[in-house]
Copies of this chain bind each other. A is one copy, B any other.
Amino acid sequence: MGKTDWKSKAKALKKKLLKREFSAATKAKAKPASPLAPAAFPTLPPIRGVEFAAVEAGVRYQNRKDVMLVRLAPGTTIAGAFTRSTTRSACVRDCQSKLGIKTGATGAAIIVNSGNSNAFTGKLGDQAVAAVTGAVAEALSIPPSRVFSSSTGVIGEALPFEKITARIPDLVAELGEEAIKMAAHAMMTTDTFPKGAAATVQGDGGMIHIAGIAKGSGMIAPDMATMLVYLFTDAKIGAGPLQKILSRNVDSTFNSITVDSDTSTSDTLLLAATGQSDAAAVKGPVLRAFETALHGVMRDLALQVVRDGEGATKLVEVRVTGATTDEDAAKAAFAIANSPLVKTAIAGEDPNWGRIVAAIGKSGAAAERDLLSIRFGEVLVANNGWRNPDYKEEDGASYMQQQELLIHVDLGLGKAQRSVWTCDLTARYVEINADYRS
């Protein structure tokens, strides 16, 4: 093949790839919401001391807002939780290092872009994070160590950070308390709906508000579907207790969901408390009520991510009780929730409990055939080492037709338990992910 042939072939291929990219971006805009989506985005209360803005920077997507900025008032305390991936992105590493820095009561900010995850982009990735967070710090007159950033989208492409820094003046000009839904939109990649949740707690001398937004669709898909979560409250609470509460509630919420068992390089959860509520500093019973409310918001957002799981048609809770240890309960629950065979059976509305038996067996959790039991909702399917003699296949088949399902396994050995949430595995999931770089 001559040089010209090769060049023209390469050019044609590039054109084809670009076309695919464009069509993927267009499809992302046009695609219908998940059948499991909530009816509407909830009304979120403004949180004093928190302002939002979103703009169209053209990082990758066209004709939609793709960068959002949050300004946090002076005195805001911040807590975080992150992916444990060893190949986590430059912005995740940057956030983690900044959370450890003791700073004065200055303002703070969060800037997020979609379309490019700035992961596995070498030294250039670190430089891009420094450029973006530095520019925000300068525009808002706060220390760079108080500016947190996230990026979500394709891995391994240099982040065109100038496109973001060029729009910072516009972002700052547009900051307002009401733009939280727009911010939730700007973070979306393969998401089919923006995710929000809120709660209010009676504090000592006034109300305390919590509002949160999230993106994610394929928990934990490294490509275009990383999970990002930002929670805001006007509670008065120190950074230490804030981090403790957050860490205590991550395992039972965002670490209890799985769409496809693939962990992202970019998962980021930030919780900011501005302290601007009229209520006194949270403590005692108010602290407990605050934690309960926060847990509710976190759980709500976590389940919304599963509801937006790529190709999902069913929301499934896998509840394991009677385990010997917490670790065993988690092992068994995730083995079931991640099993392609269990998930495809659910897609087919097949009450295929044999696949659940097999998933328990491979999980590594202590289990004994004659002690474990399996229920679909209230329907007792198997116990005493075999199918329940009263179980009727049609009862299982009828239960599986519901959109929200409970698979309950009792191991009959101890008192530890764990619930995790997953969705079914459909041909649509394969289509979405086999589609070239979509």
Contacts and interface: CB of A to CB of B under 8 A. Distances in A.
So how many copies of this chain end up in the complex?
A: 2
B123 A385 contact: yes
Contacts of A353: 156
Interface stretch (A142-150, A287-295, A340-348): A340-348
A357 interface: yes
Contacts of A339: 261-262
A120 interface: yes
Given A86-B366, A370-B122, A359 B262 contact: yes
Contacts of A350: 434-437
A434 B382 contact: no
Nearest to A154: B354
A321 to B, nearest CB: 17
A167 interface: no
A260 interface: yes
A265 B361 contact: yes
Interface stretch (A51-59, A248-256, A269-277, A391-399): A391-399
Contacts of A348: 433-436
Given A87-B369, A122-B370, A348-B436, A357 B222 contact: yes
B384 A222 contact: no
A246 interface: no
Given A122-B386, A358-B87, A386-B122, A344 B434 contact: yes
A119 B360 CA distance: 13
A349 B386 CA distance: 43
Nearest to A226: B358
B87 A357 contact: yes
Interface residues of A, number: 80
A294 to B, nearest CB: 27
A357 to B, nearest CB: 5
B13 A397 contact: yes
Nearest to A430: B427
A85 interface: yes
Nearest to A348: B434
A362 B255 CA distance: 14
A361 B88 contact: yes
Given A357-B156, A362-B262, A394-B13, A341 B122 contact: no
Contacts of A429: 340, 344, 430
9 contacts: A13-B393, A86-B365, A119-B358, A155-B357, A263-B361, A341-B433, A427-B427, A427-B431, A430-B430
